[in-house]
Amino acid sequence: MQAIEISHNNSVNFWGSNLAKSLIFFSMFLLTISGSLSAAEKLDEATARTLIVRQLLSLVDGHIPSADQAEGYRLCTYRDSFSHNQMMKHLAGVKVDNLPLVILDKQNKKAVGGCNALYVNKPQKGDLDWFRQNGTPQNTLFIINGRDYAEQGFHIGLFLNNRDTFDFELNPEAFEESGFTPRKELLQFGQVLESGLQKRVKLLRNLINFTDWPGTNSDFETSETFDLCLYRNQSLATFIDYFSRRKPFKSKALNTKLIVSIEQADGCDAIILNDPEDTDHYRFIADRDKEKKLLIGNDMTTSAAGVHYNLVAEKSTGRLFEMNLIAFQQTGHSPHFELINSAKLVNTDYPEIARVLDFIIQSTTWPKKQANQLAGEAFNVCVYQQPAFSEYLGFLLENKASEQESDARKIILKNIEESNLSGCEATLVSEDNWQELTAGESTLISEAAQSLTLLLTEKRLSAPGIHYQMLIAPKRIKLEINQELLNSIGFKASESLIDFERQSGGGR
């Protein structure tokens, strides 16, 4: 087989680490450029790099042009007129993602953020540090000329190896963090660096294999595939397929599926979620107990948000994942004992807090109002200094309201940062803010007394002035009602709420 030669001083062969696949790769871009080049034609190194860059772009998905990129796909260089001129010469008329290629040479680092892709021919440490510290690779695909740059946090490093043949490295985590998705051909041709993402995929497989599914003789038992769904994360789906390399999940063939709405979740055995981006994300958690799907967080803020597992490396303890035992209890999944020993256990659950909080609000009469006067009213419930918690809880309660009778109280949740409780008919205080309740002169408690605001806590911790204290824990939901305090200012707990307290083991 005759080699394709590229000249730079001496001739170099574009063979890469594998002759056959390199020739296939090279022929792919020769067929896509304007004009014709024969396999025997010699190319100088700069021309070859330019053509390779163009082909690399065609093998990466996820380029979403912003409004100012609507006129075309922006391929940029940075203070590099030579590479810019090479691209203008050899890539005229080329399209990427069906958009005409617009080639620009940026002079200002801040302007690079407006590019779909950036080719850096002569990288400078100071410039790369600035791009990385300012998060530019999260929105712009970086292709850098030289070895080891992918390892520094950039997407692709293109270089001549020690045999004077072209090769390139890919950083999986850079791709996942940015949402760019390399096609499987690119993963096959390039050197995929070992990374934390690879370890996360291995951990994911172990978590699934060491979890028992609820019920017997179900669709899960008879299915030949394990259907792993990823919500709006094509990049992670691609790398899970790549790193799993046909390894079984629950003794079944893995089938990864990208979904963009909850309506597409039918048939999913497990669903991977990131931190919320829209209300559909919350709906997976709101429907958790009904749908009985295993929910796995991909580096979410906390598994208390309602997922069973959360893949998150905690440096202080070395724990690689969190486990929400209440979520398991609610859906019937069962983690093996080895996983419980290895996990950071999270002993609270936002969906359960929402359920109990809703029951309290629906079952309490406010001063000077009869129960029938409160039916269908909107109730302002405040969460003290916990915006993420408030957002989750708000959607869960709103979703619950849509399933209730029309005369149920409509709970409107909002986060507050100050202790001014004006406009709050009830205020929920988390364990994180407990010191402000137990301080000698608690502003929160005095404000609640003055404004006739119901005070609740999500942990059973003793403090004067609290009307309801909830303990949400695995296999244990306990409610404490301070009836004396409630009655002294005109609140009244319903009989069903008092029965719930008694049955839960509460009561003073």
3-state secondary structure 44-82: EHHHHHHHHHHHHHHCEECCCCCHHHCCCEEEEEECCHH
Spatial distance between the Cα atoms of 247 and 455, rounded to a whole number of angstroms = 52
Radius of gyration of the chain (CA): 29
**Per-residue exposure over 455-488, b if at least 16 CB sit within 10 Å of its own CB, e if not:** bbbbbbeebeebbbbbbbbbeebbbbbbbebbee
Instruction: Say yes or no to pLDDT of 29 above 80.
Output: no
Spatial distance between the Cα atoms of 261 and 268, rounded to a whole number of angstroms = 12
Token pair listed for 292: 């009985």
Instruction: Say yes or no to pLDDT of 141 above 60.
Output: yes
CATH 3.40.50.2300 in the chain: give the residue spans: 200-346
Instruction: Say yes or no to pLDDT of 69 above 70.
Output: no
pLDDT in tens, 207-222: 999 999 987 546 777 8
Which secondary-structure segment (H or E) carries 20? helix 19-30
Instruction: Say yes or no to pLDDT of 12 above 50.
Output: no
Average pLDDT over residues 37-52: 68
pLDDT in tens, 70-90: 578 999 999 999 999 999 999
**Better pLDDT: 393 or 295:** 295
User: How much of the chain exceeds pLDDT 90, in percent?
Assistant: 37
The CATH code belonging to domain 5-193 is: 3.40.50
Supply the DSSP symbol for 435: H
Which secondary-structure segment (H or E) carries 219? helix 219-222
Average pLDDT, the chain: 82
pLDDT at 339 (0 to 100): 94
Sequential DSSP letters for 339-368: HHHHSEEE---HHHHHHHHHHHHHTEEPTT
pLDDT at 390 (0 to 100): 84
pLDDT in tens, 249-277: 999 999 999 999 999 999 999 999 987 77
Instruction: Say yes or no to pLDDT of 23 above 50.
Output: no
pLDDT at 450 (0 to 100): 76
Is the CA virtual torsion 239, 241, 242, 245 positive or negative?
Answer: positive
Residues 6+ apart with CB under 8 A from 371: 365, 494
Instruction: Say yes or no to pLDDT of 27 above 80.
Output: no
Spatial distance between the Cα atoms of 235 and 90, rounded to a whole number of angstroms = 30
**Better pLDDT: 462 or 477:** 477
Q: Phi, psi at residue 486, to the nearest 5°?
A: -55, -50
Instruction: Say yes or no to pLDDT of 133 above 80.
Output: yes
**Better pLDDT: 490 or 257:** 257
pLDDT at 370 (0 to 100): 52
pLDDT band at 1 (very low <50, low <70, confident <90, very high): very low
Spatial distance between the Cα atoms of 152 and 500, rounded to a whole number of angstroms = 56
CATH 3.40.50.2300 given to domain 200-346? yes
pLDDT at 223 (0 to 100): 87
CATH 3.30.70 given to domain 350-504? no
Average pLDDT over residues 322-330: 94
DSSP 3-state assignment of 383? strand
